[in-house]
């Protein structure tokens, strides 16, 4: 990281950025070239490793790429406003961001799919759901295991 003065090294601060985020952007390169898209997400953290979960329709460009176990980069950014001078000569934005690297993997087994979906539902609906057998058959669920990441902020 070039700007060490903005680097966040405290793990609880990093986790707070992940928790506060609304969407993650996943970037990848497939046979058609570079591709990035914003996605709703859920996550789990264990021993400093984040696993992010996303869901999708059963087919499409991202599904094809994710099913290949393609390397991905994800980012989560919280925008905290602009600040500038009266004459417009200096302007900046305040933010916090998380960037991570890993690989995509599909979750197939129903029970694991339901557990992953509940990480999303806890964020969206503030509760968990029971997913009857077969109810997730039309939903693709993917995990990104992210062990390499960094975070930074600009707040003043």
Q: pLDDT for 103-139, tens place per residue?
A: 999 999 999 999 999 999 999 999 999 998 888 999 9
Q: Could you tell me how many helices (H) and strands (E) the chain has, helices first?
A: 3, 7
- Region of 17 on the Ramachandran plot (φ > 0 left; ψ -120 to 50 alpha; else beta): alpha
84 contacts 156 by C-beta, under 8 angstroms: no
φ/ψ of 89, rounded to 5, equals -80, -25
Q: Which listed CATH number (2.30.42.10, 2.30.110.10, 3.20.20.70, 1.10.3720.10) goes with 4-154?
A: 2.30.110.10
The two beta strands, 140-154 and 71-84, are unpaired
Residues 6+ apart with CB under 8 A from 121: 42, 127, 128, 129
Predicted model pTM: 0.90
What are the residue boundaries of the structural domains of the chain, listed by start?
Answer: 4-154
**Per-residue model confidence (pLDDT) at position 95:** 84
Q: What is the pLDDT of residue 91?
A: 84
């Amino acid at each position: 990281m070039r700007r060490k003065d903005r680097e966040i090294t405290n793990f609880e601060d990093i986790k707070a950025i992940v928790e506060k985020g609304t969407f993650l952007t996943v970037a990848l390169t497939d046979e058609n070239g570079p591709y990035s898209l914003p996605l709703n997400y859920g996550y789990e953290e264990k021993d400093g490793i984040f696993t992010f979960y996303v869901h999708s329709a059963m087919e499409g460009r991202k599904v094809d790429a994710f099913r290949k176990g393609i390397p991905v980069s994800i980012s989560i950014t919280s925008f905290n406003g602009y600040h500038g001078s009266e004459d417009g000569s200096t302007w900046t934005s305040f933010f916090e961001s998380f960037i991570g690297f890993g690989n995509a993997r599909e979750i197939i087994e129903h029970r694991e799919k339901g557990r992953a979906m509940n990480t999303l539902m806890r964020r969206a609906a503030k509760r968990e759901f029971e997913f009857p057998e077969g109810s997730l058959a039309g939903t693709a669920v993917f995990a990104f295991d992210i062990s390499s990441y960094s975070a930074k902020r600009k707040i003043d």
